[in-house]
Structure 1
Amino acid sequence: MDRPTVSSLPDAVRGHWADRLAPASLRPYLRLARIERPIGWWLLLLPCWWSAALAAIAGGQSWPNPPWPNPLHCLLFLIGAVAMRGAGCTYNDIVDRDLDTRVERTRQRPLPSGQVGLKGALAFLALQALVGLAVLLQFNAFAIATGFASLGIVALYPFMKRFFWLPQIVLGLAFAWGALMGWAAAFGSLSLAAFLLYGGSIAWVVGYDTIYALQDIEDDEIAGIKSSARFFGDKVRLGVAICYALTLAFMVPAFVLAGAGKVAFAGLGLFALHLAWQVARLDRNDGAGALRLFRSNRNAGLILFAAMTLDCVIRAL
């Protein structure tokens, strides 16, 4: 029997190295981990980096933490985000392999298209999870426990779209978990500032994933898949605006409690302007435009992290 054709998915980055340079036998597994769609691990990583930066702002120059985001922690978060995003996507595709055949954008994914078998997907999931575990074990005991506490939410998410109209809330609970991890890694504890950052990150995830879900809204209706994009309907722009307003409503007091300076608040202002720009440009009937807006959240998040880091550096000089 001929091997199923391996082709790029509609929302993949065109010309990505995983599609051009990786051996043909590995490409379906790389797609299973969404390697050719790096925006996912960026969005998982950014709350981790924000949290590390907020912890550095709050801690100042107190030993043993550096007066800026801990470089080793940031590197570990990067590796962990790539591994765990891949593991999460693999798990999601295992659970959703039948649903994915009913949605145009997802029916060419490796599992529903037959490019990867179930046993191979399970083995690949275990491998990625082991990489994530190796990263997690580099942190203090409290941070390790905090990381493990997220697994229940991650396991629950793929099932929510079957009966809950706002599955993006559960996705937010999982994807924003890094907003707790940077603080836990720095201090071995959590505080109100970290929880507020987590709340803001959850609202951010719900907002940008609602934009992402606009690509599938017609197919989701046919397949009976629930999403925030369907829930908000014609009021989707207002729904995203409320999510982004909640993001700022949580983040501003988090910055205040951590003792953030003017540069960090300026970055938060630029972040807010970027979110407002997304809302203004949002068109419920433009799937391609929705994908571009969704991807732009990486830039918004990096702007905020850069400003927080610069705030730390200026204080240390």
Structure 2
Amino acid sequence: MEKLVDFLKMIKFEHSIFALPFAFTGAIIAANGLPTFQQIFWIVVAMVGARSGAMGLNRVIDAEIDRENPRTANREIPAGKISKKEAIIYILISFAAYEYATYKLNTLSFLLSPIPLVIFLLYSYTKRFTALCHVVLGVALGLAPIGAYVAITGKIDLPIVVMGVGVLFWVAGFDVIYAIQDIEYDREKGLFSIPRFLGVNGSLWVARFFHLVAFSLFILVKYLQPLGSFYLIGVLGSGLFMIYEHYILKKSNLQKLNMAFFNINAYISIIIFLATTTDIFLRG
């Protein structure tokens, strides 16, 4: 049990709050209401399995980098709480659960299931060769609403792809902000990130641009789907949270970076999910 707790800490299970609400949003849109219990169950298994395996994979691949970085040296693998072998076992179990869940959902979900795994593997190495690592992370999480939509409908449609790209830019934006913590370490070790090359101010402007694109795409989804006024109110609310995120970073001189990263972005994903759900159920 202690090892399981350490694994949950290693993969930052609480950060599931970023992608999981968007997966549910995709499922609600696809079903135009409430999906079946079986569909919800297997979507949750797929999401948790994929994300747990992806985070575990990243921690194994980055173990040496984490060990040398004072901010991450106390993570479970560098600290010796979990061995690489144990982590790999957890990763394989997680990915097996993900694959089985996609198999239980539908044929297209299963056929497309290797794509996220390739992206997860790619992301774990991106800091070694490209400053666009934040965008690759965005791609990984942007697949959440698309994957859930495919799980329900067995097809891919433009509105959900637009929402997925919106998630991509939203995630890339807050990951750029989060990476500001490691500017000096990245420069010292020759690792790639937008903050390393553009500094704090340049990175914040990139994050603002990414979030503006995300907000615009979320608005566009309303007209492509189409969705109603409750969805629009939710997106406008999420936009206000994005503005507040950048406001407090500017005013606090990055002292509230972790609050901006976790708390505010958690609200954004939940607000859009609740707004979408309310909109669809009231119209139905």
TM-score by length of 2: 0.91
| Alpha-carbon distance in 2 for matches of 1:52, 1:312 | 12
Determine if the alignment matches structure 1 residue 34 to structure 2 residue 9: no
Contact 1:48–1:182 (Cα < 8 Å) also in 2? yes
Q: Paired residue for 1:247?
A: 214
Distance 1:285 1:272, change over 3 A: closer
**SS at 2:77 equivalent:** coil
Deviation of 1:308 after TM superposition, in Å, equals 0.5
Q: How many residues align?
A: 282
**In 2, are the aligned partners of 1:207 and 1:243 still within 8 Å (CA)?**
yes
Q: Report which stretch shifted further, 113-122 or 162-171.
A: 113-122
Query: Any idea what SS the aligned residue of 1:104 has?
Result: coil
Does residue 1:217 correspond to 2:195, yes or no?
Answer: no
**Compared CA separation, residues 97 and 250, structure 1 to 2 (3 A):** same
How far is 1:161 from its partner?
A: 0.3
- Closer, same or farther: CA 283–121 of 1 in aligned 2, 3 Å: same
Pair 1:308–1:265, CA change in 2 (3 A): same
Higher helix share: 2
Superposition deviation, residue 143 in structure 1: 2.0
Partner of 1:312: 280
**1:144 corresponds to:** 110
Report the Cα distance in structure 2 between the residues aligned to 1:86 and 1:288, rounded to whole angstroms.
29
Cα distance 1:52–1:221, how it changes in 2: closer, same or farther (>3 A)? same
Whole-angstrom CA distance in 1 between matches of 2:203 and 2:23: 28
Once the two structures are superposed, the pairs formed by residues 66-145 of structure 1 within 5 Å of their partners are 67-68=33-34, 72-145=38-111
Calculate the aligned-residue CA RMSD, in Å.
Answer: 2.1
Deviations, residues 266-292 of structure 1 (Å, cap 9, x unaligned): 111111111111121224985551111
Alignment-derived partner of residue 166 in structure 2: 200
Match of 2:20 in 1: 45
Give the share of equivalent positions with the same residue, in percent: 23
Aligned to 1:271: 238
**How many Å apart are 1:70 and its aligned residue?**
5.2
Q: Provide structure 1 residue ranges, at least 5 long, that are not aligned to the other structure.
A: 1-22, 61-66
DSSP-derived class of the 2:104 partner: coil
Q: Which moved more, 1:69-78 or 1:294-303?
A: 69-78
Question: How far is 1:84 from its partner?
Answer: 2.1
How far has the Cα of 1:69 moved from its partner?
5.3
Contact 2:99–2:110 (8 Å) recurs in 1? no
1-structure distance, mates of 2:195, 2:44:
29
3-state DSSP of counterpart to 1:116: coil
1:180 aligns with 2:146: yes
Match of 2:228?
261
Tell me which amino acid in the other structure corresponds to 1:34. Answer: K
Q: Distance in 1 between matches of 2:251 and 2:92?
A: 38
Against the structure 1 CA distance between its residues 211 and 75, is the aligned structure 2 distance closer, same or farther, given a 3 Å change threshold? farther
Is the 2:99–2:113 Cα contact (8 Å) retained in structure 1? Answer: no
Query: Radius of gyration: which is bigger?
Result: 1
Q: Report how far residue 303 of structure 1 moved.
A: 0.7
Give the Å deviation of 1:47.
2.5
**Structure 2 counterpart of 1:269, which letter?**
L
1:170 corresponds to: 136
